[in-house]
Amino acid sequence: MPTLHIVRQSAFNTNDFAQCLQVLRNGDVIVFIDDGCYNLHHKLINTVDSNAKIQLNVMEKHAQARAIIINKSLYTAINMNTLVELTMTTSRVITWQ
Amino acid sequence: MPTLHIVRQSAFNTNDFAQCLQVLRNGDVIVFIDDGCYNLHHKLINTVDSNAKIQLNVMEKHAQARAIIINKSLYTAINMNTLVELTMTTSRVITWQ
Amino acid sequence: MKKLAVVITTPPYSNLSATALDYVETALNSGVEVIGVFFYQDGVILANQQVQIASDEFQCIAHWEMLHQTFNLPLHLCITAAEKRGLSDEQPNNIHSIFTISGLGELVELANKADRMVQF
Amino acid sequence: MKKLAVVITTPPYSNLSATALDYVETALNSGVEVIGVFFYQDGVILANQQVQIASDEFQCIAHWEMLHQTFNLPLHLCITAAEKRGLSDEQPNNIHSIFTISGLGELVELANKADRMVQF
Amino acid sequence: MSHNLQKLTAILNSKAPYSNSAGKDALDIALIFGSFEQPTSLFFQGDGVYQLTQAQNGSIIDVKDYLKTFAAFEFYDIENIYVCQRSLKERGLPSYFHIDQVQVLTTDEFAAKLAIHHTVFRF
Amino acid sequence: MSHNLQKLTAILNSKAPYSNSAGKDALDIALIFGSFEQPTSLFFQGDGVYQLTQAQNGSIIDVKDYLKTFAAFEFYDIENIYVCQRSLKERGLPSYFHIDQVQVLTTDEFAAKLAIHHTVFRF
């Protein structure tokens, strides 16, 4: 029953991503889109428990527009089709904006 | 040449107050209004250098509406007339919203 | 086929609403049944016919119109949120005709019928 | 007497704009010369005549109208920001008559003439 | 209207009550879902917990005090009201509120409760 | 129009460029002040520093790329462009930018520069 978390805000600017991290559960899926892509380089990302099997995805074109480099060993770069699929294959969606 | 800093956002929610603190100079004046009143109980307030003679003011009715208790040994409770006066007696105003 | 409903709360002059449009269009093109898009909060400003966006900027509304027509996509406007922002169904040339005037009851309906509800 | 100018960027359906109104009214009542209020960003929505606020909620616009009339207070509407949000000076019943249609040049003028410029 | 009583809706409140209209917009949704007899839970996290603080008074700052309407939740059968303990602690807030039936949950409990809902709106 | 060349205006940018229209709204003000020959300085702090990042491309996400207009600052005699070093460091950003003439300042220098201006707009 994983939750899809769509993260749209920069953690450098607002508390939204920190709140998202508080409700993360094993097997949940995160997708960073819009200004959420800045979180790839925020220290909060290091607090994600590596044993919790959280999938970390980034909307590739949103990162690219912002000249944000995606470390592909940590993040999966996805497109909008994959986000639509993830919406349907997870059990619920929370948008952090 | 003190600056008047009008702080309108909760530091629990956004980075604005942290940015305000970065540009504080000796003798500056802070007024917490609107959701800025929540900052009275945020730990960032402790980073204000007590030697820098920063005046800390709170819009009393804004705090009261939110049931925020004002520690009057630390903060001066002011009304809107005082905010207008401070606008004129300081050298510039920055609104953090 | 799974049913999707979308709530849009971000204003048309922000790129956030272009993302929402991109998402809905991608869903429709990939065969997902989008049972409705509900505009709430600042999302309602999109429905204002008088909105003027510089011609060299992205024309969000024209794109929504195309989706509405191509896929028969229902676009629901929350009238309470709209009235707070100066839209009126009693004035001419005000609310764009591709929108259905709705209340929050429609959101209940969408939440009930959809397999998944996503907020943008 | 010192001259004050105010820029308002917050929307009328937020209490932040009530604070702005309170500030301007207090300044006027205490004898400060308010040379103008400039509405920008979401602040422009206040000028939309079609905005409907429930009758038991605070009627911001009625209060601004009173200040405008009592103190001859200039209220400048940034037309570019307004057009992005669906206001139009070419439509009837659209922009409230207490506002002057202005451009950002007016903000330069206000910044020049005022002893102090405050943003709300 | 098709009813599906198994479909649970959560409304997650993250904004303080007055400077932002999000709290009121979320309340309107909660009451509509309640009036259509949809099972609906309310969650308060981050600055959203300020919506539950006792002794607030919006009338001082010209806000029509929508927080008072929270007293109607029982009438609408909205009985699952959860607040994040960590958010309260971070803000130095007590665990008593202006309405009854508020359950204070640890982050794990809060996350687990949220995860039983089919739809989550966040304001 | 009455000119007072001594009156200095600062525009303090605090928002990232795309999801929020604040950067564009601030740019419009900067260019108008510039065209009226008002001495105007630009400050970038917090997420505002992302407006200066090299190699961005808004066209990928359907944004008309107003950042390109930054190249016109010189033409408008907007030559004082300051960025907060601490904000850059916190975000792991380098000290090179898509326009010239950007001065990287320590927090103390940044604060001191801001304090010579008569009017400060923050977006």
Asked whether D and B share 3 or more beta-carbon pairs under 8 angstroms, the answer is yes
Average pLDDT of the residues of chain D: 96
Lowest mean pLDDT among E57-66, E72-81, E108-117: E57-66
Q: What is the pLDDT along chain C (120 residues), one digit of tens a residue?
A: 899 999 999 999 999 999 999 999 999 999 999 999 999 999 999 999 999 988 888 889 999 999 999 999 999 999 999 999 999 999 999 999 999 999 999 999 999 999 999 999
Of A83, F40, D10, D48, nearest to C83 by C-alpha is D48
What's residue F5's pLDDT? Answer: 52
Residue contact D13–E21, C-beta within 8 A: yes
Q: Which residue has the tokens 């932002």?
A: E20
Q: Which of D8, D60, D78, D79 is catalytic?
A: D78
Instruction: Give tens-digit pLDDT for F5-40.
Output: 579 999 999 999 999 999 999 999 999 999 999 999
Three-state SS for D54-104 is CCCCCCHHHHHHHHHHHHCCCEEEEHHHHHHCCCCCCCCCCECCCEEEECH
A10 contact C CB<8A? no
The token pair that represents D19 in the structure block: 């604070």
Residues 6+ apart with CB under 8 A from E113: E41, E43, E80, E82, E105
Mutate to test the interface with D, among C84, C90, C91, C99 (most CBs of D within 10 A): C84
Residue contact B62–E61, C-beta within 8 A: yes
A93, E9 contact by CB (below 8 A): no
pLDDT at residue F2 is higher than 50: no
What's residue F86's pLDDT? Answer: 98
| Residues from chain C contacting residue E1 (CB–CB below 8 Å) | 108-109, 112
Amino acid identity at D115:
D
Among chain B residues, CA nearest to E55:
B67
Determine the length of chain F.
Answer: 123
Closest Cβ–Cβ partner in C4, C32, C119 for A95 = C119
- In degrees, rounded to 5, the angle at the alpha carbon of residue C70 between the alpha carbons of residues C68 and C73 is 35
Residues 6+ apart with CB under 8 A from F12: B94, F43, F45, F48, F114, F120, F121, F122, F123
What's residue B38's pLDDT? Answer: 98
Residues 6+ apart with CB under 8 A from F67: F17, F23, F51, F56, F58, F98
Smallest Cα distance from E32 to chain C, Å: 6
Residue contact D86–C13, C-beta within 8 A: no
- Give me the DSSP letters along chain A: -PEEEEE-S-TTTBSHHHHHHHT--TT-EEEE-GGGGGGGGSGGGGGS-GGG--EEEEEHHHHHHTTPPP-TTT-EEE-HHHHHHHHHHSSEEEEE-
Averaged pLDDT for residues B67-85: 97
E45 contact A CB<8A? yes
Averaged pLDDT for residues B48-76: 96
Among chain A residues, CA nearest to C15:
A34
Residue contact D30–B6, C-beta within 8 A: no
Per the annotation, the verdict on D78 as an active-site residue is yes
Residues 6+ apart with CB under 8 A from F13: F22, F23, F26, F42, F43, F44, F45, F48, F51, F122, F123
Residue contact F1–D112, C-beta within 8 A: yes
Contacting E residues, span 44-83, partner chain D, CB-CB under 8 Å: 58, 61-64
| Residues from chain F contacting residue C56 (CB–CB below 8 Å) | 64
Residue contact D116–B6, C-beta within 8 A: no
Rounded Cα distance between D49 and D72, Å, is 20
Mutate to test the interface with E, among C6, C85, C112, C120 (most CBs of E within 10 A): C112
Rounded Cα distance between F24 and F123, Å, is 9
The number of C-alpha atoms within 13 Å of F117 and in the hemisphere containing its C-beta is 26
Rounded Cα distance between A77 and A75, Å, is 6
What's residue C40's pLDDT? Answer: 98
pLDDT at residue F3 is higher than 70: no
Averaged pLDDT for residues B2-23: 98
D34, D28 contact by CB (below 8 A): yes
Contacting B residues, span 36-55, partner chain D, CB-CB under 8 Å: none
C55 against F120, higher pLDDT: F120
Contacting D residues, span 23-62, partner chain E, CB-CB under 8 Å: 54, 56-58
Closest Cβ–Cβ partner in D15, D54, D57 for E61 = D15
What's residue F4's pLDDT? Answer: 47
Q: Strand pairing partners for D38?
A: D7, D76
Give the model's confidence band at E5: pLDDT under 50 very low, under 70 low, under 90 confident, else very high: low
Residue contact B84–D10, C-beta within 8 A: no
Instruction: Give tens-digit pLDDT for A42-85.
Output: 999 999 998 999 999 999 999 999 999 999 999 999 999 999 99
Instruction: Give tens-digit pLDDT for D6-36.
Output: 999 999 999 999 999 999 999 999 999 999 9
Averaged pLDDT for residues E104-117: 98
What's residue C56's pLDDT? Answer: 86
Taking the CA atoms of chain A, what radius of gyration do you get in angstroms?
A: 12
Rounded Cα distance between F81 and F95, Å, is 13
What's residue E64's pLDDT? Answer: 86
Give the model's confidence band at E2: pLDDT under 50 very low, under 70 low, under 90 confident, else very high: very low
Three-state SS for B55-68 is EEEEEHHHHHHCCC
Among chain A residues, CA nearest to F63:
A65
Q: Strand pairing partners for D34?
A: D4
F51, F67 contact by CB (below 8 A): yes
Kindly tell me the number of DSSP H helices and DSSP E strands found in chain D: 4, 5
pLDDT at residue E3 is higher than 60: no
| Residues from chain F contacting residue D104 (CB–CB below 8 Å) | 28-29, 32
Q: Which residue has the tokens 């309108």?
A: B8
The token pair that represents D110 in the structure block: 């206000």
F84, F110 contact by CB (below 8 A): yes
B42 contact A CB<8A? no
Whether complex ipTM tops 0.90: yes
How distant is the alpha carbon of residue A38 from its chain centre? 10
| Percent of chain F surpassing pLDDT 70 | 95
Smallest Cα distance from D90 to chain E, Å: 30
Q: Strand pairing partners for C38?
A: C7, C76
Give the model's confidence band at D1: pLDDT under 50 very low, under 70 low, under 90 confident, else very high: confident
- What is the pTM (predicted TM-score) of this model? 0.97
What's residue D3's pLDDT? Answer: 97
Residue contact E36–C105, C-beta within 8 A: yes
